[in-house]
Structure 1
């Protein structure tokens, strides 16, 4: 099975593809979008962040325009269908494209890039790419991993990572400040949020495989779930953190 489809299946019960609970997502969107008219999500997954944004702003800012870009496009039709059913489809655009290469003349009040820094070559390049689509005075909402504690060999092996792939939290924040952006707010995902996300990720795949034993991809999907669960529980649990930062332009 195509890995983008496996990823879409893994997020069946947790469509926010990051270790964030529903209340946190809503709170972050309310802060970021207060009084704003347009939002872009680079590396948007299935577009769930944007659909949530439109729902939250249905009454307060019914003119909100939401645009998403993702290379896979997995789940786009599902999200478009949901948006249409809720009367939001005319305010949602989803584009299948490389978020790092996509261009438009439109500039946005808010740009999101949550858990997609790898597509840009790291956090600072992701911030710079997001900023290139931003209106003057706009806001960025970015989410990225960091080391909660120095990673041991088990964590690095489980992630297929090196110790310099991420920094600690303080250094992560200083990196975006050095790039000219100041934190207006942040949320550090709790271990409970990580656990809920990982159990959902592996559980959704396991359930699908058990419910489709005759599907040619069933064994592969079950293996992916088991390998991911082992890497998390036996490797990076409690070591890999995640921070979501709301940023304002710090000027020169």
Structure 2
């Protein structure tokens, strides 16, 4: 069980594996009013930067789970000596040994086939009255055609919601109050997307004969134009803090 190698190459030396800057990750930790000793569970934790940085800033402790052996290895190295644990495994089946104050899935709602199913997974590890964090794309602008939809890595317009539709979905459909949110900017989208291009080019220069080289060369040929034409204009991304309605 592992993540395909091209994902690891693309992320390279990035510590945050989504369109959030370190400043926005710090803002989120402040906004949800973390307290020393709070227990966090981060499903699909990537390289563990949320847990590491929030322990240093707020004194939290917790567990991160990810399917990538490379990411988990890096997470353990960067958080060595801290009261955070990293587990290699399938986040969709994970239940924390102790209910947590905050349970997160930042940008990987595919583990539950969407927002609703992912919330069900997260709630298994949440204490009563605790908080969920969901990272999810949304349409900044309504896509005018199928080409735009596919340029944003979607199959249909319904793969994502507009921001009002997403907020209404949390409350009206699923019964959770939205209590905080921090949204990516076009600049933070650029920083994340463009970092991939440099990582890919650096890898290609060092590995021209690798079996993945043609695939990643094709990605570098097309992804910059796709990003500036479609993704940065039409697709937003944010982290949403939820508490269950009584």
Same fold (TM over 0.5): yes
Which runs of structure 2 are paired with 1:22-171 in the superposition (5 Å)? 22-32=22-32, 34-35=34-35, 36-57=37-58, 61=59, 64-84=60-80, 87-88=81-82, 91-151=83-143, 152-158=145-151, 159-171=153-165
Separation in 2, partners of 1:125, 1:160: 19
Separation in 2, partners of 1:19, 1:232: 13
Gaps of 5+ in 2: none
User: Contact 2:183–2:239 at 8 Å: present in 1 too?
Assistant: yes
> What's the TM-score once normalised by structure 1's chain length?
0.86
Question: Superposition RMSD on alpha carbons, in Å?
Answer: 2.1
Separation in 1, partners of 2:182, 2:159: 21
Deviations 1:24-45 (A, max 9, x none): 1011123335225210011112
User: Contact 2:3–2:67 at 8 Å: present in 1 too?
Assistant: no
Indicate yes or no: 2:218 matched with 1:218. no
Which runs of structure 2 are paired with 1:183-194 in the superposition (5 Å)? 183-194=178-189
Which runs of structure 2 are paired with 1:200-239 in the superposition (5 Å)? 200-239=195-234
Separation in 2, partners of 1:217, 1:109: 41
Aligned to 1:7: 7
User: Contact 2:75–2:86 at 8 Å: present in 1 too?
Assistant: no
The worse-fitting range, judged by mean Cα deviation, of 45-54 and 129-138 is 45-54
> What's the TM-score once normalised by structure 2's chain length?
0.88
Indicate yes or no: 2:169 matched with 1:175. yes
User: Contact 2:66–2:72 at 8 Å: present in 1 too?
Assistant: no
Gaps of 5+ in 1: none
Aligned to 1:242: 237
